[in-house]
Amino acid sequence: MTEPTDLAGAAHLLLAQGVVHLDPEPAVFAAMLEGWAQQQRTRFLNYESTIKPRLSVVRRLADFSNQYPWQWQPAEAEAFFDFLRARRPNFAVSTARNYQNALRMFCEYVTDERYEWPRVCLDRFGRQPVQILHEWNSITHASTYEGSPGRRPLSYDEVQMLFDAADEQVEAIRMRGRKGALAALRDAVMLKAVYAYGLRRQEACGLDLVDLRRNPKTPSYGRFGGVFVRFGKASKGGPPKRRTVLTVPEMDWVVDVLADYLSEVRGGFSPSKHPALWVTERRGRVSLRGLNGAFTRARELAELPEELDLHSLRHSYVTHLIEFGYPERFVQEQVGHAYASTTAIYTGVSDDYRNRLLERALKQRHGDLWEEPA
Protein backbone atom coordinates (compact mmCIF):
# COMPACT_ATOMS: atom_id res chain seq x y z
CA MET A 1 0.00 0.00 0.00
CA THR A 2 1.43 3.36 -1.04
CA GLU A 3 1.74 6.19 1.43
CA PRO A 4 -0.89 8.93 0.98
CA THR A 5 0.36 12.11 -0.64
CA ASP A 6 -0.42 15.52 0.77
CA LEU A 7 -1.92 16.92 -2.42
CA ALA A 8 -4.44 19.70 -1.92
CA GLY A 9 -7.79 17.95 -2.00
CA ALA A 10 -6.51 14.51 -0.95
CA ALA A 11 -9.07 12.46 0.97
CA HIS A 12 -6.93 11.86 4.07
CA LEU A 13 -6.60 15.63 4.57
CA LEU A 14 -10.37 16.11 4.59
CA LEU A 15 -11.71 13.05 6.38
CA ALA A 16 -10.86 12.84 10.06
CA GLN A 17 -9.19 9.53 10.85
CA GLY A 18 -11.01 7.29 13.31
CA VAL A 19 -14.26 9.28 13.15
CA VAL A 20 -17.41 7.27 12.38
CA HIS A 21 -20.13 9.40 10.81
CA LEU A 22 -23.74 8.62 11.61
CA ASP A 23 -24.55 9.46 7.99
CA PRO A 24 -21.33 8.80 6.08
CA GLU A 25 -22.53 9.30 2.50
CA PRO A 26 -23.31 13.06 2.67
CA ALA A 27 -20.16 13.57 4.80
CA VAL A 28 -17.92 11.98 2.14
CA PHE A 29 -19.70 13.88 -0.65
CA ALA A 30 -19.20 17.18 1.18
CA ALA A 31 -15.51 16.32 1.67
CA MET A 32 -15.20 15.54 -2.04
CA LEU A 33 -16.60 18.95 -2.97
CA GLU A 34 -14.36 20.74 -0.51
CA GLY A 35 -11.35 18.79 -1.76
CA TRP A 36 -12.10 19.66 -5.37
CA ALA A 37 -12.49 23.32 -4.41
CA GLN A 38 -9.11 23.23 -2.66
CA GLN A 39 -7.48 21.60 -5.66
CA GLN A 40 -8.81 24.37 -7.90
CA ARG A 41 -7.80 27.13 -5.49
CA THR A 42 -4.20 25.90 -5.62
CA ARG A 43 -4.39 26.61 -9.38
CA PHE A 44 -5.41 30.20 -8.52
CA LEU A 45 -8.85 29.84 -10.08
CA ASN A 46 -11.39 32.43 -8.97
CA TYR A 47 -13.91 31.07 -6.49
CA GLU A 48 -16.94 33.20 -7.39
CA SER A 49 -16.61 33.09 -11.17
CA THR A 50 -15.17 29.59 -11.70
CA ILE A 51 -15.12 27.25 -8.69
CA LYS A 52 -18.54 28.06 -7.23
CA PRO A 53 -20.46 27.54 -10.51
CA ARG A 54 -18.67 24.21 -11.06
CA LEU A 55 -19.59 22.99 -7.58
CA SER A 56 -23.18 24.03 -8.22
CA VAL A 57 -23.38 21.84 -11.34
CA VAL A 58 -22.10 18.82 -9.40
CA ARG A 59 -24.67 19.40 -6.65
CA ARG A 60 -27.44 19.77 -9.24
CA LEU A 61 -26.60 16.39 -10.77
CA ALA A 62 -26.54 14.80 -7.31
CA ASP A 63 -29.95 16.31 -6.49
CA PHE A 64 -31.39 15.29 -9.85
CA SER A 65 -30.16 11.71 -9.73
CA ASN A 66 -30.63 11.31 -5.96
CA GLN A 67 -27.30 9.50 -6.03
CA TYR A 68 -23.74 10.16 -4.90
CA PRO A 69 -20.75 10.38 -7.27
CA TRP A 70 -19.59 6.82 -6.56
CA GLN A 71 -23.02 5.65 -7.76
CA TRP A 72 -23.13 7.67 -10.97
CA GLN A 73 -23.05 6.05 -14.40
CA PRO A 74 -23.18 7.70 -17.86
CA ALA A 75 -26.96 7.23 -17.85
CA GLU A 76 -27.30 9.73 -14.98
CA ALA A 77 -25.46 12.44 -16.92
CA GLU A 78 -27.46 11.75 -20.08
CA ALA A 79 -30.78 11.94 -18.23
CA PHE A 80 -29.67 15.14 -16.48
CA PHE A 81 -28.92 16.97 -19.74
CA ASP A 82 -32.07 15.63 -21.35
CA PHE A 83 -34.00 17.10 -18.41
CA LEU A 84 -32.26 20.47 -18.74
CA ARG A 85 -33.04 20.68 -22.45
CA ALA A 86 -36.68 19.76 -21.91
CA ARG A 87 -37.03 22.31 -19.14
CA ARG A 88 -35.24 25.10 -21.04
CA PRO A 89 -35.83 24.88 -24.81
CA ASN A 90 -33.34 27.73 -25.35
CA PHE A 91 -30.61 25.98 -23.32
CA ALA A 92 -27.43 27.20 -25.02
CA VAL A 93 -24.89 24.76 -26.42
CA SER A 94 -22.05 26.73 -24.83
CA THR A 95 -23.73 26.54 -21.41
CA ALA A 96 -24.28 22.80 -21.77
CA ARG A 97 -20.63 22.33 -22.70
CA ASN A 98 -19.54 24.28 -19.61
CA TYR A 99 -21.73 22.02 -17.47
CA GLN A 100 -20.28 18.90 -19.09
CA ASN A 101 -16.73 20.17 -18.67
CA ALA A 102 -17.36 20.84 -14.98
CA LEU A 103 -18.75 17.34 -14.41
CA ARG A 104 -15.96 15.74 -16.44
CA MET A 105 -13.28 17.57 -14.41
CA PHE A 106 -14.96 16.60 -11.15
CA CYS A 107 -14.99 12.94 -12.22
CA GLU A 108 -11.33 13.18 -13.22
CA TYR A 109 -10.58 14.47 -9.71
CA VAL A 110 -12.52 11.80 -7.80
CA THR A 111 -11.23 8.94 -10.00
CA ASP A 112 -7.58 10.00 -9.66
CA GLU A 113 -5.81 7.54 -7.37
CA ARG A 114 -3.52 10.28 -6.07
CA TYR A 115 -6.46 11.89 -4.27
CA GLU A 116 -7.49 8.53 -2.71
CA TRP A 117 -11.23 8.87 -3.34
CA PRO A 118 -11.50 5.58 -5.28
CA ARG A 119 -10.02 3.66 -2.33
CA VAL A 120 -12.11 5.56 0.24
CA CYS A 121 -15.37 4.94 -1.63
CA LEU A 122 -14.56 1.29 -2.25
CA ASP A 123 -13.72 0.71 1.42
CA ARG A 124 -16.78 2.53 2.76
CA PHE A 125 -19.46 1.92 0.16
CA GLY A 126 -18.24 -1.01 -1.93
CA ARG A 127 -18.21 1.13 -5.08
CA GLN A 128 -15.85 3.68 -6.56
CA PRO A 129 -16.51 6.67 -8.85
CA VAL A 130 -16.10 6.40 -12.61
CA GLN A 131 -15.91 8.90 -15.46
CA ILE A 132 -19.46 9.44 -16.71
CA LEU A 133 -18.82 11.75 -19.67
CA HIS A 134 -17.08 10.48 -22.76
CA GLU A 135 -16.89 11.47 -26.40
CA TRP A 136 -20.08 9.58 -27.24
CA ASN A 137 -22.25 11.46 -24.73
CA SER A 138 -20.60 14.91 -24.80
CA ILE A 139 -21.07 17.88 -27.09
CA THR A 140 -18.65 18.08 -29.98
CA HIS A 141 -16.98 21.46 -30.38
CA ALA A 142 -17.64 21.85 -34.09
CA SER A 143 -17.83 25.63 -34.46
CA THR A 144 -15.68 28.55 -33.38
CA TYR A 145 -18.79 30.57 -32.50
CA GLU A 146 -21.80 29.09 -30.74
CA GLY A 147 -23.49 32.23 -29.49
CA SER A 148 -27.10 33.07 -30.17
CA PRO A 149 -27.65 34.07 -33.81
CA GLY A 150 -29.87 36.86 -32.50
CA ARG A 151 -26.90 38.57 -30.86
CA ARG A 152 -25.44 40.94 -33.39
CA PRO A 153 -24.03 44.43 -33.68
CA LEU A 154 -26.50 47.28 -33.63
CA SER A 155 -26.67 49.45 -36.73
CA TYR A 156 -25.83 53.14 -36.42
CA ASP A 157 -29.54 53.95 -36.44
CA GLU A 158 -30.26 51.38 -33.74
CA VAL A 159 -27.51 52.78 -31.53
CA GLN A 160 -29.03 56.22 -31.91
CA MET A 161 -32.52 54.86 -31.17
CA LEU A 162 -31.21 53.20 -28.02
CA PHE A 163 -29.53 56.37 -26.78
CA ASP A 164 -32.56 58.50 -27.66
CA ALA A 165 -34.80 56.16 -25.70
CA ALA A 166 -32.50 56.36 -22.68
CA ASP A 167 -32.48 60.18 -22.85
CA GLU A 168 -36.25 60.35 -23.33
CA GLN A 169 -36.72 58.24 -20.22
CA VAL A 170 -34.98 60.95 -18.21
CA GLU A 171 -37.33 63.61 -19.55
CA ALA A 172 -40.40 61.42 -19.00
CA ILE A 173 -39.50 60.92 -15.33
CA ARG A 174 -38.93 64.64 -14.89
CA MET A 175 -42.25 65.49 -16.55
CA ARG A 176 -44.09 63.20 -14.16
CA GLY A 177 -42.31 64.75 -11.19
CA ARG A 178 -41.15 61.36 -9.97
CA LYS A 179 -37.91 60.26 -8.40
CA GLY A 180 -35.32 58.50 -10.49
CA ALA A 181 -34.40 61.10 -13.08
CA LEU A 182 -30.84 61.29 -11.76
CA ALA A 183 -30.40 57.51 -11.93
CA ALA A 184 -31.91 57.41 -15.42
CA LEU A 185 -29.46 60.09 -16.55
CA ARG A 186 -26.56 58.11 -15.09
CA ASP A 187 -27.81 54.98 -16.87
CA ALA A 188 -27.95 56.82 -20.19
CA VAL A 189 -24.35 57.96 -19.77
CA MET A 190 -23.24 54.44 -18.78
CA LEU A 191 -24.70 52.94 -21.94
CA LYS A 192 -23.00 55.57 -24.08
CA ALA A 193 -19.66 54.90 -22.38
CA VAL A 194 -20.03 51.12 -22.87
CA TYR A 195 -20.47 51.69 -26.60
CA ALA A 196 -17.87 54.47 -26.97
CA TYR A 197 -15.14 52.28 -25.39
CA GLY A 198 -16.38 48.78 -26.29
CA LEU A 199 -16.52 47.66 -22.66
CA ARG A 200 -17.63 44.41 -21.08
CA ARG A 201 -20.06 44.58 -18.16
CA GLN A 202 -17.46 43.97 -15.46
CA GLU A 203 -15.07 46.42 -17.09
CA ALA A 204 -17.67 49.19 -17.13
CA CYS A 205 -18.90 48.61 -13.57
CA GLY A 206 -15.32 48.41 -12.27
CA LEU A 207 -14.30 51.85 -13.55
CA ASP A 208 -13.15 54.37 -10.95
CA LEU A 209 -12.61 58.10 -11.33
CA VAL A 210 -8.84 57.54 -11.42
CA ASP A 211 -9.29 55.32 -14.49
CA LEU A 212 -10.09 58.32 -16.68
CA ARG A 213 -6.85 59.00 -18.53
CA ARG A 214 -5.34 61.87 -20.49
CA ASN A 215 -3.80 61.21 -23.87
CA PRO A 216 -0.97 63.58 -24.85
CA LYS A 217 -1.84 62.98 -28.50
CA THR A 218 -5.37 64.33 -27.97
CA PRO A 219 -5.00 67.16 -25.43
CA SER A 220 -8.38 68.63 -26.39
CA TYR A 221 -10.08 65.61 -24.79
CA GLY A 222 -8.68 66.57 -21.38
CA ARG A 223 -9.05 63.81 -18.80
CA PHE A 224 -11.18 61.79 -21.21
CA GLY A 225 -8.44 60.77 -23.63
CA GLY A 226 -9.06 57.15 -22.66
CA VAL A 227 -10.09 54.82 -19.87
CA PHE A 228 -7.83 52.46 -17.99
CA VAL A 229 -9.58 49.08 -17.72
CA ARG A 230 -8.38 47.18 -14.63
CA PHE A 231 -10.98 44.41 -14.58
CA GLY A 232 -10.63 42.94 -18.05
CA LYS A 233 -11.52 39.32 -18.70
CA ALA A 234 -8.94 37.08 -17.06
CA SER A 235 -7.37 33.95 -18.46
CA LYS A 236 -8.00 30.87 -16.33
CA GLY A 237 -5.85 31.02 -13.24
CA GLY A 238 -4.70 34.55 -13.96
CA PRO A 239 -5.59 37.99 -12.61
CA PRO A 240 -7.89 40.39 -14.47
CA LYS A 241 -6.20 41.77 -17.56
CA ARG A 242 -5.51 45.47 -17.88
CA ARG A 243 -5.50 47.75 -20.89
CA THR A 244 -6.02 51.37 -21.85
CA VAL A 245 -8.84 52.08 -24.30
CA LEU A 246 -8.17 55.26 -26.24
CA THR A 247 -10.95 57.68 -27.18
CA VAL A 248 -11.20 57.57 -30.97
CA PRO A 249 -12.24 60.72 -32.90
CA GLU A 250 -15.43 59.10 -34.18
CA MET A 251 -16.54 58.62 -30.57
CA ASP A 252 -15.30 61.95 -29.19
CA TRP A 253 -18.88 62.98 -28.42
CA VAL A 254 -18.42 60.89 -25.28
CA VAL A 255 -16.00 63.53 -23.95
CA ASP A 256 -18.79 66.09 -23.42
CA VAL A 257 -21.15 63.37 -22.17
CA LEU A 258 -18.72 62.27 -19.45
CA ALA A 259 -17.74 65.83 -18.57
CA ASP A 260 -21.40 66.78 -18.04
CA TYR A 261 -21.95 63.63 -15.97
CA LEU A 262 -19.07 64.44 -13.62
CA SER A 263 -19.99 68.08 -13.22
CA GLU A 264 -23.78 67.87 -13.14
CA VAL A 265 -24.89 64.34 -12.24
CA ARG A 266 -22.49 62.29 -10.14
CA GLY A 267 -22.41 64.79 -7.29
CA GLY A 268 -26.19 64.48 -6.95
CA PHE A 269 -25.67 60.99 -5.51
CA SER A 270 -23.56 62.44 -2.67
CA PRO A 271 -20.81 59.88 -3.28
CA SER A 272 -18.43 61.43 -0.73
CA LYS A 273 -15.07 59.68 -1.23
CA HIS A 274 -16.43 56.65 -3.09
CA PRO A 275 -13.99 55.93 -5.94
CA ALA A 276 -16.50 54.45 -8.42
CA LEU A 277 -17.31 56.31 -11.62
CA TRP A 278 -20.89 55.01 -11.56
CA VAL A 279 -22.52 55.32 -8.13
CA THR A 280 -26.01 54.52 -6.84
CA GLU A 281 -28.48 56.37 -4.66
CA ARG A 282 -27.13 54.35 -1.72
CA ARG A 283 -23.59 55.51 -2.41
CA GLY A 284 -22.49 52.17 -3.75
CA ARG A 285 -21.09 50.96 -7.04
CA VAL A 286 -23.56 50.17 -9.83
CA SER A 287 -23.87 46.38 -10.11
CA LEU A 288 -23.71 44.17 -13.18
CA ARG A 289 -27.44 43.60 -12.85
CA GLY A 290 -28.04 47.34 -12.68
CA LEU A 291 -26.13 47.90 -15.91
CA ASN A 292 -28.01 45.06 -17.62
CA GLY A 293 -31.28 46.57 -16.45
CA ALA A 294 -30.37 49.97 -17.88
CA PHE A 295 -29.83 48.41 -21.30
CA THR A 296 -33.00 46.33 -21.14
CA ARG A 297 -35.17 49.34 -20.27
CA ALA A 298 -33.70 51.44 -23.07
CA ARG A 299 -34.01 48.56 -25.57
CA GLU A 300 -37.68 48.03 -24.71
CA LEU A 301 -38.45 51.75 -24.99
CA ALA A 302 -36.68 51.85 -28.35
CA GLU A 303 -38.64 48.74 -29.45
CA LEU A 304 -35.47 46.97 -30.53
CA PRO A 305 -35.31 43.15 -30.83
CA GLU A 306 -35.14 41.41 -27.45
CA GLU A 307 -32.28 39.21 -28.71
CA LEU A 308 -30.00 42.24 -28.41
CA ASP A 309 -28.24 42.53 -25.06
CA LEU A 310 -25.68 44.77 -23.44
CA HIS A 311 -22.81 42.80 -25.00
CA SER A 312 -24.21 43.70 -28.42
CA LEU A 313 -22.88 47.22 -27.83
CA ARG A 314 -19.38 45.76 -27.64
CA HIS A 315 -20.00 43.92 -30.90
CA SER A 316 -21.19 47.23 -32.35
CA TYR A 317 -18.02 49.00 -31.23
CA VAL A 318 -15.79 46.42 -32.92
CA THR A 319 -17.84 46.48 -36.11
CA HIS A 320 -17.99 50.25 -36.33
CA LEU A 321 -14.26 50.70 -35.73
CA ILE A 322 -13.59 48.31 -38.60
CA GLU A 323 -16.02 50.26 -40.78
CA PHE A 324 -14.29 53.49 -39.80
CA GLY A 325 -11.14 52.01 -41.31
CA TYR A 326 -9.10 51.18 -38.20
CA PRO A 327 -6.62 48.29 -38.60
CA GLU A 328 -7.70 44.98 -37.09
CA ARG A 329 -4.71 44.98 -34.75
CA PHE A 330 -5.71 48.37 -33.32
CA VAL A 331 -9.28 47.17 -32.76
CA GLN A 332 -7.98 43.99 -31.12
CA GLU A 333 -5.89 46.03 -28.67
CA GLN A 334 -8.78 48.40 -27.93
CA VAL A 335 -11.14 45.60 -26.89
CA GLY A 336 -8.53 43.41 -25.21
CA HIS A 337 -8.79 40.28 -27.32
CA ALA A 338 -5.88 37.88 -27.09
CA TYR A 339 -6.50 36.58 -30.61
CA ALA A 340 -7.46 38.32 -33.83
CA SER A 341 -9.89 35.48 -34.56
CA THR A 342 -11.99 36.55 -31.57
CA THR A 343 -12.19 40.09 -32.89
CA ALA A 344 -13.25 38.71 -36.27
CA ILE A 345 -16.13 36.82 -34.63
CA TYR A 346 -17.35 40.09 -33.11
CA THR A 347 -17.33 41.86 -36.46
CA GLY A 348 -20.51 42.09 -38.51
CA VAL A 349 -19.92 44.81 -41.07
CA SER A 350 -22.82 46.25 -43.04
CA ASP A 351 -23.61 45.66 -46.71
CA ASP A 352 -22.86 49.33 -47.37
CA TYR A 353 -19.36 48.96 -45.97
CA ARG A 354 -18.69 45.83 -48.00
CA ASN A 355 -19.94 47.54 -51.14
CA ARG A 356 -17.55 50.43 -50.52
CA LEU A 357 -14.68 47.95 -50.24
CA LEU A 358 -15.83 46.27 -53.44
CA GLU A 359 -15.98 49.59 -55.29
CA ARG A 360 -12.48 50.47 -54.09
CA ALA A 361 -11.15 47.11 -55.29
CA LEU A 362 -12.83 47.51 -58.68
CA LYS A 363 -11.35 50.97 -59.14
CA GLN A 364 -7.88 49.70 -58.20
CA ARG A 365 -8.18 46.78 -60.63
CA HIS A 366 -9.82 48.47 -63.62
CA GLY A 367 -8.91 52.12 -63.12
CA ASP A 368 -10.64 54.46 -65.54
CA LEU A 369 -12.32 51.57 -67.35
CA TRP A 370 -14.64 50.94 -64.37
CA GLU A 371 -17.72 53.10 -64.20
CA GLU A 372 -19.78 53.50 -61.05
CA PRO A 373 -23.39 52.43 -61.75
CA ALA A 374 -25.99 55.17 -61.82
CA–CA separation, 287 vs 205, rounded Å? 6
DSSP run (H or E) holding 56: helix 52-65
**Catalytic member of 311, 326, 353, 356:** 311
* Selected catalytic residue, list 54, 192, 200, 201: 200
Return the pLDDT at 302: 96
Tens digit of pLDDT per residue, the chain (374 long)?
455 567 888 998 988 776 666 789 999 999 999 999 999 999 888 888 899 999 999 999 999 999 999 999 999 999 999 999 998 888 888 889 999 999 999 999 999 999 999 999 999 999 999 999 998 888 875 455 445 556 788 999 999 999 999 999 999 998 887 888 999 999 999 999 999 999 999 999 999 999 999 999 999 999 999 999 998 887 766 788 899 999 999 999 999 999 999 999 999 999 999 999 999 999 999 999 999 999 999 999 999 999 899 999 999 999 999 988 898 899 999 999 877 766 776 666 556 666 665 666 666 666 665 565 55
Three-class SS of residue 234? coil
> Phi/psi at 208 (nearest 5 deg)?
-115, 165
* Whole-prediction pTM: 0.69
Cα 86 to Cα 81, 90, 192, distances in angstroms: 9, 9, 38
The pLDDT, as a whole number, for residue 174 is: 87
Q: Among residues 186, 314, 315, 320, which one is catalytic?
A: 314
Known catalytic residue: 337? Answer: yes
Q: Given 12, 60, 151, 233, which residue is catalytic?
A: 233
pLDDT (0 to 100) of residue 175: 86
Q: What CATH superfamily is the domain 156-362? A: Intergrase catalytic core (1.10.443.10)
Q: Which residues lie closer than 8 Å to 73 by C-beta, 6 or more apart?
A: 130, 132
Q: Is 311 a catalytic residue?
A: yes
